[in-house]
Amino acid sequence: MMNAERIGRDKCIILVSSKITKDVLIIMKNNGYIGDFKEIKDGKGGKIIVNLIGKINNVGVIKPRFSVKMNQYEKYEKRFMPAKDFGFIVVSTSNGMMTHIEAKEKNLGGRLISFVY
C-alpha cells in the first residue's frame, strides 16, 4: 500500500483478505487516511481493492505484536510515531480493534497491530 501511495496511484490491491486486514482498513477509512475499499472473493483467499487518497505518510505492521497495558501507550507512541498526536496505533483489545487513543479513553490494554500516520 505504501509503494502505491508513494508513486501516486489511486488504487491498491491487497491480495490476501483477512478479518484483521479489514478491521485495520475500516479504522483507516474512519480516520480519513484512505477512501472506500471493496472485497472481491475469488476462492483463493480473496482480494481487497483500496481507493487511496494521498493522505498516508507511513503505514506499517508491528511485529512482534507487543502486549500493552493501559499506562504504556506513551512508550510505544514515542517508538512508532514521529510526533505526539500525529497518527495512531491500531490495538486489538477485548472490545475489538480500535486506535490507541480510543483505548486510552476506555482504559483498555491489548496487543499492538499496526501504525499509521
pTM for this predicted structure: 0.91
Residue 85 scores a pLDDT above 90: no
Looking at the structure, do residues 49 and 76 belong to the same domain, yes or no? no
Q: What is the pLDDT of residue 88?
A: 97
Cell numbers placing 107: 482504559
Indicate the number of domains in the chain: 2
Q: What is the pLDDT of residue 74?
A: 94
pLDDT of 14-45, one tens digit each?
A: 998 999 999 999 999 999 999 999 999 988 88
CA distance 3 to 26: 20
Residue-range definition of the domain harbouring residue 30: 1-55
Q: Look up residue 80 and give its amino acid.
A: F
Going by C-beta distance under 8 Å and a sequence separation of 6 or more, which residues neighbour residue 92?
A: 20, 65, 110, 111, 113
Looking at the structure, do residues 73 and 114 belong to the same domain, yes or no? yes
98: left (phi over 0), alpha (psi -120 to 50) or beta: beta
Q: What is the pLDDT of residue 43?
A: 87
